[in-house]
Amino acid sequence: MANVDWYVEGVEFGSCNCSYGCPCQFEGLPTHGNCRGLEVVRIERGHFGDLRLDGLCVALLYAWPGPIFEGNGELQAIVDVRATSGQRDALVKILQGEETDEAATHWWVYHAMSSTVHEVLFEPIEFECDIEARTARVVIPGMVESTGRPIVNPDGEVHRVRIDIPDGIEFELAEIGSASVQANGAITLDIQDGYGQFNILRHSASGVVKR
């Protein structure tokens, strides 16, 4: 049976507890042996069938006791409270890897590698992100606070670096910075100056849409 035709394009900010280089992007093992993090996306253009998704935000909290590929992780999706019931259903399906080709997106992989999937929450998501400047701010009241900033070298100068993954399952090109996250829900996070990722995300049922 064919997947529902869907597409999501927007600004993404992510952070995990790895060092700035995030070994996962290079098929390496997590810096501290485990993987814990957050991602937030503001959808600039999107649809699920005939249903528009433009202007909505979504977030994911995740945690694995080891590398992602070993599984046994936990995952929680948070969907913009402004979404209608139809939009909520559509976004939950997308974020949990439904209506998606096998292993085509990182959302599919995250869900497949999680033995615990917490209840989806519908909350206000305050999200600001400037990819070029490598800055971001996320507030999900009472639950998540996160900021992103450029990496600063020992001389106090801003350092710029990118990760280019032509055949990746999340992005093609991302600016890298420093990020901090505090989360106190079902998945707790306490990240200080960890990996920060700023990029455009373009996903469909068959994976990353290249431009």
Largest interatomic CA distance in the chain? 57
Structure-token pair, residue 181: 């996250």
In this structure, what token pair is assigned to residue 175? Answer: 């600016």
pLDDT reading at 1 higher than 90: no
Give the model confidence (pLDDT) of 147-199 as tens digits.
999 999 999 999 999 999 999 999 999 999 999 999 999 999 999 999 999 99
Q: Residue 58: how many CB atoms within 10 A of its CB? A: 27
Alpha-carbon distance values, 8 to 22, 95, 140, 207 (Å): 24, 11, 21, 10
For residue 201, which of 106, 61, 113, 114 has the smallest C-alpha distance? 106
Tens-digit pLDDT profile for residues 71-115 = 999 999 999 999 999 999 999 999 999 999 999 999 999 999 999
What mean pLDDT is predicted for residues 141-150? 98
**In 3D, which of 42, 26, 37, 114 has the Cα closest to residue 83?**
42
Q: Is the pTM of this model over 0.75?
A: yes
CA dihedral 96, 141, 8, 203 (to 10 degrees): -50
Residues sharing a CB contact under 8 Å with residue 168, sequence separation 6 or more, in sequence order: 208
- pLDDT tens, 55-75? 999 999 999 999 999 999 999
Give residue 132's pLDDT: 97
pLDDT band at 2 (very low <50, low <70, confident <90, very high): confident
Residue 89: what are its φ and ψ, rounded to 5°? Answer: -60, -45
